Amino acid sequence: MKLTVFGATGGIGKEIVRQALDAGHQVTAVVRDPARLPLAGDRLEVFRADLTDPGALRPAVAGRDAVLSGLGARNRGDAGIATRLTRTVLAALEAEEVRRLLVVSAAPVGPEPEGDGFLDRAVRGVVSAVLKDIYADLREMEADVARSTTGWTVVRPPRLQDKPVTGTYRTVVGGFPLKGRFIGRADVAHAMLGMVGDPATVKQGVGVAY
């Protein structure tokens, strides 16, 4: 497949690029600073852009089978960035009539797991209060994606870890795995790549966790 990855120098985005290349896909990695992407290969195109102009992004997405985005805030001071940057990406996709889009959100933005216990609800409440601005940004981003013409999927992981890909995790379409408290960034990338061709995930939020 021909894939474009936004946020390709972030923890999840970099893993999407690496795993996609390992799987034999052609990958366009959209970055602001190419020096921050320590990957190379004949099937990798590094596309430098600042994500402020949809027109400038159109060559990066034209003719692609799917676009995967790891864009989002890295700290509380970045609240608002997910919505702002994703709107630019959406405009480029709609101009080029690219239909498949997968984006990363967060577990607290989606529905609570069925049968969730008191401890998990309490932790979710504390985290949501501390990161309320980031989650408000992600909710707005999700709403923009849902209104778009794309065949979108919103992937909602819990607390992220830096660990090797395992390929062993749980997913719930339209919900979230019970007691799903952690997942590695590499496994989020693995899950997203697996969802590209899965029609059951189109126009759905998908919870993913160990």
* Percent of the residues in the chain that have a pLDDT greater than 90, as a whole number: 82
88, 53 Cβ separation under 8 angstroms:
yes
Q: Is residue 86 pLDDT above 90, yes or no?
A: yes
Q: What share of the chain is helix, strand, coil (3-state, %, to 5)?
A: 40, 20, 35
What is the reported pLDDT for 87?
96
What is the reported pLDDT for 111?
87
Please report how many Cα atoms fall inside a 13 Å half-sphere around the Cα of residue 113, on the Cβ side: 24
Distance between CA atoms of 136 and 147, rounded to whole angstroms?
17
Q: Is residue 123 pLDDT above 90, yes or no?
A: no
The dihedrals phi and psi of 156, each to the nearest 5 degrees, come to: -120, 95
Please report how many Cα atoms fall inside a 13 Å half-sphere around the Cα of residue 54, on the Cβ side: 12
Question: Averaged over 14-25, what is the pLDDT?
Answer: 98
DSSP per residue, 81-100: HHHHHHHHHHHHHHHHT--E
Please report how many Cα atoms fall inside a 13 Å half-sphere around the Cα of residue 160, on the Cβ side: 18
Question: Averaged over 124-139, what is the pLDDT?
Answer: 76
25, 42 Cβ separation under 8 angstroms:
no
Residues 6+ apart with CB under 8 A from 39: 14, 17, 18, 21, 29
What is the reported pLDDT for 36?
93
Please, which residues bridge with residue 160 across strands? 183
Label residue 66 by pLDDT band (50, 70, 90).
very high
What stretches of 41-173 show up as alpha helix (H) in DSSP? 54-61, 81-96, 118-130, 132-147
Nearest to 15 by CA among 202, 131, 155: 155
Q: Is residue 97 pLDDT above 80, yes or no?
A: yes
* Percent of the residues in the chain that have a pLDDT greater than 70, as a whole number: 90
Q: Which has the higher per-residue pLDDT, 141 or 130?
A: 141
151, 99 Cβ separation under 8 angstroms:
yes
Label residue 209 by pLDDT band (50, 70, 90).
very high
Distance between CA atoms of 172 and 209, rounded to whole angstroms?
9
What is the reported pLDDT for 128?
62
Q: How remote is the C-alpha of 76 from its chain's centroid?
A: 18
Label residue 171 by pLDDT band (50, 70, 90).
very high
Q: Is residue 148 pLDDT above 80, yes or no?
A: yes
What is the reported pLDDT for 122?
60
What mean pLDDT value characterizes the chain? 92
Kindly list the structural domains of the chain, giving each domain's residue range(s) and its CATH number in brackets, ordered by start: 2-209 (3.40.50.720)
Label residue 115 by pLDDT band (50, 70, 90).
confident
Please report how many Cα atoms fall inside a 13 Å half-sphere around the Cα of residue 89, on the Cβ side: 29
Distance between CA atoms of 25 and 3, rounded to whole angstroms?
7
